Amino acid sequence: MRGAPAELTLSLLCHLSHLRATRVTSVDASAPARHVWLSGAQAEICLQREAHLAWLKRGFTSLPPNFAGLDASRPWFVFWIAHAMEVLGDFDDHWAPKVASFLSHCQDPTGGFAGGPSQLPHLAPTYAAVSALMVAGTEEAYQVVDRAAMYDFLMRMKSPEGGFKMHDEGETDMRGCYCAIAVASMLHILTDELMEGIPEYICRCQTWEGGIAGEEGLEAHGGYSYCGLATLCIAGKADALDLHGFLKWAVHKQMTHEGGFQGRANKLVDSCYSFWQGAIFPLLHEAFRQGGSEKVPLPKDHCWFAPEPLQMYLLLACQHPAGGLRDKPNKSADFYHTCYALSGMAVSQYDVSNHTPLLGDLGNLLERTDARSDQRKKKPSTLVSKDATFSSWHYY
């Protein structure tokens, strides 16, 4: 990651020098206003919603020739764009038939989805495709998936060490656990047979730092930590982990200067970790609850991280003027970072209380994602909107 720390620092300092302390917007008028350390110039802290939507819609219609090298990731583009539009509150129904039609051509007759038509079925595009179909949210979209073949595919991907292979003869890592179990949860085909050995495998990948690594013996990492914890939250088994160690690791990944998250120790802040790290906190809240919240005094008005500085980093440093969001200043906007930066911002705007810690005015408020599982109501921990989650659970 050749970053632009000097430019990033300069960018933030320039903005900060124009800001003065005031209050942050609270959506709940009855809730006490929350003091934050900036926002006198809140008009400057503005989500460029229309620019992002226009850029996303252009991407949904066609991609330039230099994307040809990503021909094996096509369901991912559908998901990144559809979910970003959903979080921005503007996934129009007319996109749903197009999503269902294209993804139906990526489904393999033996189960699972490939990165493109006639390619090898793979767990990563399978997760992306099923998630995008949930976003589409129509009966036509739900009917695309051959659930019996999908179950066979997921069982075929189970590996002897407890996790899931990404594809036939492929690698086994933490992504496989999350992709397989999230898909099974979204499609209502999650069984004890599928979950067998998973908690033990994930616990073996929790490192001395507290987070979860991609594979046993490697370094704790934000993306794999989210995948491992979310998998266990879906199954209601998150208390198998050392949750205190996990929390201690996670809180040190939000950088005090930039406000954003790094993915692992000694790395630069990157906007995609706004979701991979930021969504860990509501999951940890749920994990402690699953373990018996009477054992742990859970905070009632925060989720252990600072939402306003995170939103400041995303809104001031990561929005590209031409639309889309980027990893950090001096980078180009891309669909992956747009999806996960917006998802992380959405997670940070809804905490465990009735407060909505929102930086700027109500125009910056995003739709709520389903990063927080709630086993009491049998809802999964997946990355689609709460409305999409409700609809799919009703259908299947």
Between 55 and 91, whose beta carbon lies closer to Zn ion?
A: 55
Q: Is 178 a catalytic site residue?
A: no
The answer to whether residue 224 is catalytic is no
The one catalytic residue among 108, 173, 270, 370: 270
- Nearest alpha carbon to residue 198 among 245, 160, 168: 160
CA distance 396 to 150: 14
Please list the alpha-helical segments (H only) found in the chain.
Answer: 5-16, 49-61, 74-87, 96-104, 123-136, 139-142, 147-157, 174-186, 192-195, 198-205, 222-235, 243-251, 273-276, 280-290, 307-312, 335-348, 386-395
The question of whether 173 is a catalytic residue gets the answer no
Of the residues 74, 167, 237, 264, only one is catalytic, namely 264
Q: Residues 304, 296: contact at Cβ < 8 Å?
A: no
How many residues bind Zn ion (CB under 5 A)? The answer is 3
Question: Strand pairing partners for 173?
Answer: 164
User: Is 258 one of the binding residues for Zn ion (CB under 5 A)?
Assistant: no
**Candidate list 98, 267, 368, 386, residue with the active-site label:** 267
Active site residue 273: yes
Which residues on neighbouring strands pair with residue 43, listed in sequence order? none
Provide the minimum distance between the beta carbon of 264 and Zn ion in the complex, in angstroms, as a whole number: 12
Question: Could you write out the DSSP letters of every residue in 317-359?
Answer: ISB-TTSSB-SSTTS---HHHHHHHHHHHHHHTS-SSS---BS
Q: How far is the CB of 253 from Zn ion (least distance, A)?
A: 13
CB 172 within 8 A of CB 157: no
Active site residue 221: yes
Q: Does 272 bind Zn ion (CB under 5 A)?
A: yes
Which residue's CB is nearer to Zn ion, number 113 or number 275? 275
In the bound complex, what is the minimum distance in angstroms from residue 80's beta carbon to Zn ion?
A: 12
Residue 276 in tokens: 């991979």
Q: Which is nearer to Zn ion, 286 or 327 (CB)?
A: 327
Q: Shortest Cβ distance from residue 324 to Zn ion (Å)? A: 13
Q: Does 129 bind Zn ion (CB under 5 A)?
A: no
Q: What is the DSSP letter of 19?
A: -
* Sole binder of Zn ion in the list 258, 327, 351, 367 (CB under 5 A): 327
* 202 contributes a contact to Zn ion by CB under 5 A: no
Using the rule CB under 5 A, give the single segment among 108-116, 271-279, 353-361, 385-393 that binds Zn ion: 271-279
Residue 108 sits in the site that holds Zn ion (CB under 5 A): no
308 touches Zn ion (CB under 5 A): no
Calculate helix-pair angle for 147-157, 123-136, nearest 10 degrees.
150
Q: Is 341 in the site for Zn ion (CB under 5 A)?
A: no
At residue 24, what are phi and psi to the nearest 5 degrees?
A: -95, 150
From the list 162, 163, 78, the residue with the least C-alpha distance to 115 is 78
CA atoms of 60 and 101, how far apart (whole Å): 13
Q: Which stretch binds Zn ion (CB under 5 A): 162-170, 179-187, 319-327, 352-360?
A: 319-327
Minimum distance of Zn ion from residue 274's CB (angstroms): 9
The correct pick among 270, 308, 351, 367 for binding Zn ion (CB under 5 A) is 270
Could you please report the per-residue DSSP string of 255-320?
A: -TTTSSBBSSTT--B-TTHHHHTTTHHHHHHHHHHHTTGGGS---SS--SS-HHHHHHIIIIISB-
395 is catalytic: no
| From 167, 328, 337, 372, the catalytic residue | 337
Known catalytic membership, residue 361: no
Examine the residue annotation and report whether 272 is marked as an active-site residue of this protein. yes
The residue number whose beta carbon is nearest to Zn ion equals 272
Closest distance between Zn ion and the C-beta of residue 136, in Å?
A: 26
- The residues that are catalytic are 221, 264, 267, 270, 272-273, 327, 334, 337
Residues that bind Zn ion (CB under 5 A): 270, 272, 327
